A and B are shown apart, each in its own frame.
Chain A
Amino acid sequence: MTIIFLLIGISLLVALTFLGAFFWAVRSGQYEDDYTPAVRMLFEDEVEPDEPA
């Protein structure tokens, strides 16, 4: 059953990784504005005009 110590250690490491990822996301400002990116995503990349000017 001592394997449990190892497993718990690993699970904690995984959880800490996610906590770190969350901190990074907060620090990089991703939670400052949770509306605009959803709209921004829908803007299409501009293509060259397909009709001659």
Chain B
Amino acid sequence: MPPTLAPAPALPLTHVACTHCGDDCPDDPIRLVAQPALSFCCPGCRAVYELLAASNLCTYYRLDERPGQKVRAVELPGRFDYLDLESVQGQLLAFRSPTLARLTLSIPQMHCASCIWLLENLFKLNPGISASRVNFLRKELTVSYHPETTSLKAVVTLLAAINYEPRITLAELGAQLHHGTRTLYYQLGVAAFGFGNVMLLAFPEYFSFSGQLQSTFGNFFGWLSLLLSLPVLLVSARGFYRSAWQGLRQRYINLDFPISLGLTALFITSVSEVMTQRGPGFFDSFTGLVFFMLIGKWVQQRSYDALRFDRDFTSYFPVAVTLLTKTGEQSVSVKELKPGQRIRVRHQEIIPADAILLRGTALIDYSFVSGESVPVARQAGETVYAGGRQVGEAVDLEVVREVSQGYLTQLWNNPAFQKEEKANLETYANHVGRYFVGLTLALALGAVAYWYPKDPQMALRAFTSVLVIACPCALSLATPFAMGAALRVLGRRTLYLKNSAVVETLGRADTIVFDKTGTLTDVKKAAVEYLGPALSPGQQRAVAAVVRHSTHPLSQRLAAELPPSQLAVAGFAEIPGQGLRGTVGGVVVRVGSAAFVGAAVATNEAAEPAENLQSRVFISLGNNLSGYYIFRNVYRDDLCEVLAALNRRYRLAVLSGDNETEQARLRALFGPQAELHFHQTPQQKLDYIAALRQQGRTVVMVGDGLNDAGALQRADAGIALTDTLTNFSPACDAILEAGSFGQLATIMGFSRDCLRVVLATFVLSFCYNGVGLALAVQGRFTPIVSAILMPISSISVMVFATLLVRVAAWRRRL
């Protein structure tokens, strides 16, 4: 072996750069069959390469011309048939005319510049496509095509063929394009316009030549400022008033209430000053305040625009399913599925509803539901639950329950999912805001009581000044900027949060609950152990040659474990749900279940039921049983350190759907205080979390599967663990990439730091308010003081919050 590696010593083996996009390749890079020397980081990059090669655009890589491979056809011809349905098209297409159709597709796979390039050059692959535009941050592709020359099905099939299969789910249907952000931009534009111009008009007042100018222009400037501020009040500030009003209607005072109060006081004071020609008013402060606070809102909105988290079961299920009728197969919407109907589920399709297996061998991959990687075999007559993915041959099922009534989907009928948002986010800012109002009103009334006997005019001035200066503008900026910075730091560490309030919740948490399978254990790294008479290296290679031909997850696991093998396999056959068979060098190799390989071990297996939990793969060579491989789940590498770090501060608990076999190991890992619960159904997990919260605890749930979805939703903060971000993950507050699991303790610590930063920023903004109040109660709060204090406090709070979060991240080496 070593001599063959010699010609390419310059290539570092650890980091191979992708030929297309230059990213580091995974350990096992994707290669081009025609040119094995080229390695790629992702199928997309390879497809681009192939396409470019096919179109003779190789100057892009300065490579020789190569015919490249044809874009491979989708292996399941009937898979996208439902896209021809009129009802589906009606829901998917954003625009439709005889000559043009346009729709937006969600393509989570896109990740690099070449993805954008390829997706925007679709018209070269299908002339019927007139244009395609990518929105990278939202991972969306807007395609326009000519319905006469091509069809929606052809477009989607093409995308699937180049490995960018769009995610079309029930939730995606009827989803509208998001236009909410535009309003904020309009508001921001109006506020900036008002602020800039009013400030210019206020300049004469700032510089003391007002005396001369004021007599001639003061009145004109005042009225003009009023005119310019009106759209700011009516358009830009509307959001604050609406939010405050909504809070009041729910008998809840949020931070927007004192803001609205301050803004109103500021505006009314200014109007009355201009009307009575007493002065220029505070219009510059008013427009400036609105402008700065809108910037805060914009920062907040941007930080959670990128990922969409609002998923329920409809996100996981297919749009359409093949219905078996007397006349033949028919594609129908999943929503119309009724109990008693018969459906056909093909290889790699998701079972949409609880059903009874009628015909065929079901081999169902419940990895997403339970975190268990090994597909479960089911025989005709048995019940299969919705959410699993069929692997192998097509099966016929009879629907038992409607989609919305299934075993797993029932979770979503729990009240926890009914709420639009988790009960008003009890953020610090809102909490503080409530006391703020009381304090402000007390101070304002106090000032009136003090001044009224001496100088009624002054009393009014002091009253409004207090309301104005107490407007918690800086306070409202502290949270978005601190949390926005925190979200960016955490995003770099592949923890993606639903919104900034989650950082606060994580910082306040005192209990962490873990799911076991898939969360604490690493499904991909199941330990493989061989039991039986030792295999010779030649025999191992023979087994490896056979399993390499199978796409079954266990075969692939085994292939990775065994030495590489180039031996030829004759007469390969895969019997779904049973095993593989092939002849290597004249020896028949069988790999599969005990019954498939030889019935002798079946009794042996029954003798040790506890061992049933692990999956086994039996091997026979030349009709002689050799032994079997056991796949054991292993715990994540850094679990030990993470738990040790977390154990110091948090109460830990484990909720597992499995039985107690692992109890001793978990006890050792989690320590004596931790609560370990086994045999937990999804509903029990949810109830457990609810009970903890009733005790007044702030609970963080870490889970991965659909069966944790209820618990994740019920917890104060639910963190879903996922291997790849493009995979499905349950509805949750945060998504953590499994590779970053080891940083969980650091992330929790960082969240606590962020809380402290927010509090420190509050203190800073209180200082400004204090200075302002001291001036205000004395009636010395003039437009110029206001015009200086407001922007300084706003800007310094923004900078302070961002910097402190950066420092905290740097100290924790995040």
Contact = CB atoms under 8 A, between A and B. Distances in A.
Interface in B326-360: none
A42 B136 CA distance: 15
B120 interface: yes
B197 A33 contact: no
A31 B58 CA distance: 34
Interface residues of A, number: 31
B217 interface: yes
B70 interface: no
A35 B197 contact: no
A22 to B, nearest CB: 5
Interface string B180-199: 01100110011001001100
Contacts of B217: 1, 4
B59 A47 contact: yes
Interface string A28-53: 00011111100110111011011101
Nearest to B115: A39
A31 B59 contact: no
A10 to B, nearest CB: 12
Contacts of B60: 44
A39 B120 CA distance: 12
Given A1-B216, A8-B224, A49-B59, A23 B134 contact: no
Contact of B135 (A18, A23, A33): A33
B377 interface: no
A5 to B, nearest CB: 7
Given A19-B190, A26-B185, A53-B65, A32 B57 contact: no
A11 B59 contact: no
B588 to A, nearest CB: 48
Given A12-B197, A35-B137, A36-B116, A22 B57 contact: no
B136 A36 contact: yes
Contact of A36 (B135, B189, B196): B135
B278 to A, nearest CB: 22
B136 A35 contact: yes
B138 A33 contact: yes
Contact of B193 (A5, A15, A27): A15
A22 B196 contact: no
Given A11-B200, A15-B197, A53 B56 contact: yes
Contact of A40 (B116, B182, B189, B196): B116
B675 to A, nearest CB: 45
A49 B190 CA distance: 50
Nearest to B189: A22
Contact of B113 (A16, A22, A42): A42
Interface in B212-229: 216-217, 220, 224
Contacts of A18: 193
Contacts of A40: 116, 120, 134
Contacts of B200: 11
B193 A31 contact: no
B117 interface: yes
Contacts of B65: 49, 51, 53
A49 B58 contact: yes
Given A4-B217, A12-B197, A53-B65, A32 B189 contact: no
Interface string B53-67: 000111110001100
A4 to B, nearest CB: 7
B435 to A, nearest CB: 37
A7 to B, nearest CB: 11
Contacts of A12: 197
B205 to A, nearest CB: 15
Given A49-B56, A49-B57, A39 B116 contact: yes
A32 B135 contact: yes
Interface in B49-108: 56-60, 64-65
Contacts of A26: 182, 185-186, 189
Nearest to A33: B135
A15 B231 CA distance: 14
Interface in B113-172: 113, 116-117, 120, 133-138
Contacts of A47: 59
Contacts of A31: 181-182, 185
A32 B134 CA distance: 11
Contacts of B135: 32-33, 36
Chain B CB within 10 Å, residue with most, of A5, A32, A34: A32
Given A4-B217, A26-B182, A33 B137 contact: yes
Contacts of A51: 58-59, 64-65
A29 to B, nearest CB: 9
B346 to A, nearest CB: 35
Interface in B396-425: none
Contacts of A4: 217
Interface of A: 1, 4-5, 8, 11-12, 15-16, 18-19, 22-23, 26-27, 31-36, 39-40, 42-44, 46-47, 49-51, 53
29 contacts: A1-B216, A1-B217, A4-B217, A8-B201, A8-B224, A11-B197, A11-B200, A15-B196, A19-B189, A26-B185, A26-B186, A31-B181, A31-B182, A32-B135, A32-B182, A33-B138, A36-B116, A36-B133, A36-B135, A40-B116, A40-B120, A42-B113, A49-B57, A49-B58, A49-B59, A49-B65, A51-B58, A51-B59, A51-B64
Closest 4 CB pairs of A and B: A33-B135, A36-B136, A26-B185, A49-B56
Given A31-B185, A40-B116, 11 more contacts: A15-B197, A27-B182, A33-B135, A33-B136, A34-B137, A35-B136, A36-B137, A39-B116, A40-B120, A40-B134, A46-B57
